[in-house]
């Protein structure tokens, strides 16, 4: 079934062949899913190194994780991890022995580092959530333009690499440096489209947490998640996590590009929101993940056993303070009980929680609401912005106890 999309790995040389899927014959495992909003029908498709995932677009491949995966464990498996690209020209051949990362710009010594060079430096590991800014965009009311994602454009992994600070220190950042710009191997299909590049302020780039990662969950990065090297920006939206990164450029001005100045901006206010349908006066680049929580083992509309102990569990995360509390309601938010938190894998990770409930026969609304160590909590009413970013309204599910 993968003969049209082959993954070739031999003697250290890797190449990915993605089929022209419009010509592909029917797929044996062909299944589809219905995301819970209008026009939510999606196909499941299988790419190299991936299990069947929800197809958002084919060119470039954009794949969403089926939500039930988040109930399997606190770490998202590599083959289930979502995939987001902007440009159709994704790299199809990469030789890890030839690959180099260039460090250029306002530095004392420009560097050209091989994977081997990077792997000789002091390694760093972190468990961190990568979430797309538009995760859950399909639920916005009124609807907004952009990928109509369910809640599967997120994942939690153990990343291993080297701190960006160590690499910048080796290059010697010069006085007057303002930002660091990151570029990857993917390219626009048309020369009129700007190349995908993102920037961080110099202090953020040197905070010791931002890293150049070659490993995800103790394996090489999957091709579609940025093989052989990607930026990991713990606590920040996925847009900054540049994949196939091969260029780090230190500049003495604010980076002027579509991807910083036009796209990935949110209203410049405390809620990053405006009244539904309105336009913000002023915007800023999107930053840290807002706090969220999900029920993972029960779906909306499910029937559960009445008058018996039923286990409910899920995940919570935020932009790097760590989860302080997860509150659970079985009466539509009238009263709340604290859930039990699972193992702490660090402040950037998903945190599992669980709760026992016991409900009489009838219809009930279950709600979950997380609070971070920074005191941030989820709103009960959805916030809205024209790009459909940062959704974090309290999730609620209706169940029938019988």
What is the binding site for ligand MTE (CB under 6 A)?
81-87, 130, 132, 184, 186, 196, 225-226, 238-239, 241-244
Minimum CB distance to ligand MTE smaller for 163 or for 225: 225
Stretch that binds Mo ion, among 78-86, 186-194, 244-252, 284-292 (CB under 5 A): 78-86
Minimum CB distance to ligand MTE smaller for 244 or for 347: 244
Stretch that binds Mo ion, among 233-241, 293-301, 327-335, 351-359 (CB under 5 A): 233-241
Minimum CB distance to ligand MTE smaller for 186 or for 395: 186
Q: How far is the CB of 369 from Mo ion (least distance, A)?
A: 25
Among ligand MTE, Mo ion, none, what does residue 320 contact (CB within 5–8 Å per kind)?
A: none
* 234 lies in the binding site for Mo ion (CB under 5 A): no
Q: How far is the CB of 111 from Mo ion (least distance, A)?
A: 28
Q: Which of 132, 144, 251, 390 lies at the binding interface for Mo ion (CB under 5 A)?
A: 132
Q: How far apart are CA 316 and CA 274, in angstroms?
A: 25
Q: How far apart are CA 67 and CA 82, in angstroms?
A: 11
Among ligand MTE, Mo ion, none, what does residue 225 contact (CB within 5–8 Å per kind)?
A: ligand MTE
Minimum CB distance to Mo ion smaller for 42 or for 324: 42
How many residues line the site for Mo ion (CB under 5 A)?
4
Q: How far apart are CA 180 and CA 317, in angstroms?
A: 27
Minimum CB distance to ligand MTE smaller for 384 or for 389: 389
Minimum CB distance to ligand MTE smaller for 349 or for 377: 349
Q: Which tokens is 83 given?
A: 């995939």
Chain residue whose CB lies nearest ligand MTE: 238
First to last CA, the chain: 43
* 136 lies in the binding site for Mo ion (CB under 5 A): no
Q: How far is the CB of 16 from ligand MTE (least distance, A)?
A: 14
Among Mo ion, ligand MTE, none, what does residue 321 contact (CB within 5–8 Å per kind)?
A: none
Q: How far is the CB of 397 from ligand MTE (least distance, A)?
A: 26
* 238 lies in the binding site for Mo ion (CB under 5 A): yes
* 239 lies in the binding site for Mo ion (CB under 5 A): yes
Minimum CB distance to ligand MTE smaller for 162 or for 216: 216
- Using CB under 5 A, list all residues that contact Mo ion: 84, 132, 238-239
């Amino acid at each position: 079934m993968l003969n049209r999309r082959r993954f070739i790995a031999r003697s250290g040389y890797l190449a990915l062949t993605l089929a022209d899927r419009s010509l592909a014959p029917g797929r044996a495992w062909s299944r589809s899913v219905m995301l819970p909003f209008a026009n939510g029908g999606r196909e499941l498709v299988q790419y190299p190194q991936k299990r069947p995932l929800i197809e958002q677009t084919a060119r470039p491949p954009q794949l969403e994780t089926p939500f039930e995966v988040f109930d399997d464990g606190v770490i998202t498996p590599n083959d289930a991890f979502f995939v987001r690209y902007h440009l159709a020209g994704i790299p199809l051949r990469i030789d890890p022995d030839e690959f180099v990362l260039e460090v250029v710009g306002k530095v004392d010594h420009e560097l050209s580092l091989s994977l081997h060079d990077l792997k000789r430096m002091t390694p760093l590991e972190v468990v961190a959530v990568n979430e797309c800014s538009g995760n859950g965009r399909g639920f916005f009311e009124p609807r907004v333009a952009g990928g109509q994602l369910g809640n599967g454009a997120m994942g939690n992994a153990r990343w291993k690499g080297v701190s960006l600070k160590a690499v910048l220190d080796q290059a010697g950042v010069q006085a007057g440096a303002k930002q660091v710009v990151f570029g990857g191997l993917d390219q626009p299909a048309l020369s009129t489209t700007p190349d995908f590049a993102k920037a961080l302020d110099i202090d953020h780039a040197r905070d010791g947490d931002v890293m150049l990662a070659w490993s995800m969950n103790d394996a090489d990065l999957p091709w579609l998640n940025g093989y052989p090297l990607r930026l990991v920006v713990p606590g920040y939206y996925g847009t900054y996590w540049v994949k196939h990164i091969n260029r780090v450029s230190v500049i003495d001005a604010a980076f002027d590009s579509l991807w910083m100045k036009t796209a990935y901006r949110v209203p410049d206010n405390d809620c990053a929101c405006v009244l539904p349908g309105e336009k913000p006066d002023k915007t800023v680049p999107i930053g840290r993940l807002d706090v969220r929580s999900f029920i993972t083992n029960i779906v909306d509309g499910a029937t559960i056993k009445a008058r018996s102990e039923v286990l409910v569990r899920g995940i919570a995360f935020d932009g790097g303070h760590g989860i302080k509390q997860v509150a659970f309601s079985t009466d539509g938010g009238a009263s709340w009980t604290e859930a039990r938190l699972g193992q702490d894998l660090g402040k950037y990770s998903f945190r599992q929680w669980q709760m026992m409930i016991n409900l009489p026969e009838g219809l009930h609304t279950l709600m979950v609401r997380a609070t971070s160590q920074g005191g941030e909590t989820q709103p009960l009413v959805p916030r809205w912005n024209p790009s459909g970013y940062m959704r974090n309204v309290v999730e609620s599910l209706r169940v029938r106890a019988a």
